Structure 1
Amino acid sequence: MSTLPARPELPKRFYKEVALVEDEGGFVIRLDGRPVRTPSRAALRVPARRVAEELAAEWERQATHIDPATMPMTRLVNTVLDGVAPDPQSVADDLGRYAETDLLAYRAAEPERLAQRQAEGWDPVIGWAEAKTGESFARGVGVMFVAQPASTVEALRALVRAEADPFRLAALHQVTTLTGSLLLALALADGFLEVERAWALAHIDEDWNIEQWGEDAEAQARRANRYEDMRMAALMLGRA
């Protein structure tokens, strides 16, 4: 009989004091006076105090062992410093691909009430995007590919390219991959949506299914963890 591989043993908490320190125009976290570093050994330095405060709180909350699964902001900042900052162009290119397959373009044919919820929730976001870009957005019914106008795709990619800060770019990427929608991510970053509303709009279909069939505890836990990742990205964008 096969067994699942054992979970790697977590490192023990080795520090007593967590301190947030302003340093070189940003903020660093120090553990017993020593700076925290990323897996690639970069200093864990962030420009925004609120992000630094969340980092410090995560390190403070660790009990006897350090569990990265409970540290969504630390994971995101590590991604920024080790992955996005050295190569922002590839992240922007990846984000740009979502302009062609945005969740909000794909509508249900039935039931009518679900289609109505999608229209009520998603159409205002598309209206915001059309006003922001001066371009129109195509919508389709079902799962068949919806081809967006080339000018629309380019306008969305231009908004992504305008995000030169690697922290904002990483946060946009995280929101987009969590929701399946570049439009929701851009609307959140712009302040058109609050994080709770963007999250709800991304889950209209899932919430409909839950209403019909219910949800198990494991699925609830996964969704709660994803929402924490979303909230950390929103905080990094200054929207939480």
Structure 2
Amino acid sequence: MKRFYEDVRVVAAGGDNTGFQVTLDDRVIKSPAKQDLILPSKSLALAIADEWQAQGEKIIPASMAMMTLAATAVDRVTPQRRHVIDMIAAYGGTDLICYRVSEPADLVNRQQSRWQPVLDWLASHHGAHLVIADSLMPVAQSEQALAAIRAAVASYSDFELSPLHALTTTAGSVVIALAVLAGHLDGDAAFELSQLDESYQIERWGLDDDAKQRRDGIYNTIDNAAKFVQILRD
């Protein structure tokens, strides 16, 4: 799409709404589903305004990560909040960091030293005690643990659930995602934990171009989601 505006501003939301909106030549921007994009924090509105201002002659939606996550909150989370919560919480039953290898010893030790502290954090912070397995066979988690994870997920706003969903599905771990939302992990740490096994293989066998492109995409998604959370709360 060709750029059709010159002036980008942040304004207070009108009417009975609280929050902020971004305008393009005095016209408020809407979500892709044509919903009013009312942002809960000025810092987020400014970040989205910066993305629009940075566009060149052509608008490239893929370059506007903050806009995408905000629009997802409005278009996809709010209309089906309970379903989104269920989707995120379901990862507790198959969480990446609960599935460990039995060999080689150095990878076993790496998983234990890097993943276990996050599981311990989940137990102390949210009261969810997850069981680990040393094989790919499914392990049953307790109803109490899964209920605690769902309660933790449900405690977040629609604008927080958007990055939480992105983090969970990209990392394959609701535990890692919840740790980011709580400020226990930053984006770099979340990426490293989610790619621990792959990083081990790269150390041994190297990284081809396709794998690097995929890895870069995962990093960008996790990093942008973590940044969104931080900006939202500034």
TM-score (norm 2): 0.90
Structure 1 residue 40 corresponds to structure 2 residue 30 = no
Which of 77, 80, 104 is matched with 2:73 structurally?
A: 80
Share of identical aligned residues, percent?
36
1:185 aligned partner, one-letter code: A
Structure 1 residue 208 corresponds to structure 2 residue 208 = no
Instruction: State the 1:196 CA deviation.
Output: 1.4
Structure 1 residue 15 corresponds to structure 2 residue 5 = yes
* Cα pair distance change 1:47/1:135, threshold 3 Å: closer
Aligned to 1:107, the other structure's residue is in SS state coil
Asked if 2 retains the 8 angstrom alpha-carbon contact of 1:15 and 1:32, the reply is yes
Asked if 1 retains the 8 angstrom alpha-carbon contact of 2:128 and 2:144, the reply is yes
- Describe how 1:62-77 pairs up with structure 2 within 5 A: 62-77=55-70
Which of 3, 8, 18 is matched with 1:25 structurally?
A: 18
Aligned to 2:79, the other structure's residue is in SS state coil
1:236 aligned partner, one-letter code: F
**Number of residue pairs matched by the alignment:** 229
1:156 aligned partner, one-letter code: I
Which of 119, 125, 142 is matched with 1:126 structurally?
A: 119
Mapped to 1, the partners of 2:45 and 2:217 lie a distance apart of: 20
> More displaced, 132-141 or 108-117?
132-141
1:196 aligned partner, one-letter code: D
Gaps of 5+ in 1: 1-10
Structure with greater proportional helix content: 2
* Cα pair distance change 1:133/1:188, threshold 3 Å: same
* Cα pair distance change 1:223/1:17, threshold 3 Å: farther
Instruction: State the 1:139 CA deviation.
Output: 0.6
Show the counterpart of 2:95: 102
* Cα pair distance change 1:135/1:32, threshold 3 Å: closer
Asked if 1 retains the 8 angstrom alpha-carbon contact of 2:190 and 2:222, the reply is no
Instruction: State the 1:239 CA deviation.
Output: 7.2
Asked if 1 retains the 8 angstrom alpha-carbon contact of 2:44 and 2:231, the reply is no
2:11 aligned partner, one-letter code: V
TM-score (norm 1): 0.88
Q: 1:72-92 CA deviation, whole Å, 9 max, x = no partner? A: 221111111111112211101
* Cα pair distance change 1:55/1:218, threshold 3 Å: farther
Aligned to 1:19, the other structure's residue is in SS state strand
Aligned to 1:237, the other structure's residue is in SS state helix
> More displaced, 114-123 or 48-57?
48-57
Gaps of 5+ in 2: none
Structure 1 residue 227 corresponds to structure 2 residue 219 = yes
Show the counterpart of 1:147: 140
Asked if 2 retains the 8 angstrom alpha-carbon contact of 1:133 and 1:156, the reply is yes
* Cα pair distance change 1:145/1:77, threshold 3 Å: same
Q: 1:48-90 CA deviation, whole Å, 9 max, x = no partner? A: 2232222112212211211112122211111111111122111
Asked if 1 retains the 8 angstrom alpha-carbon contact of 2:3 and 2:57, the reply is yes
Show the counterpart of 1:175: 167
Asked if 1 retains the 8 angstrom alpha-carbon contact of 2:43 and 2:231, the reply is no
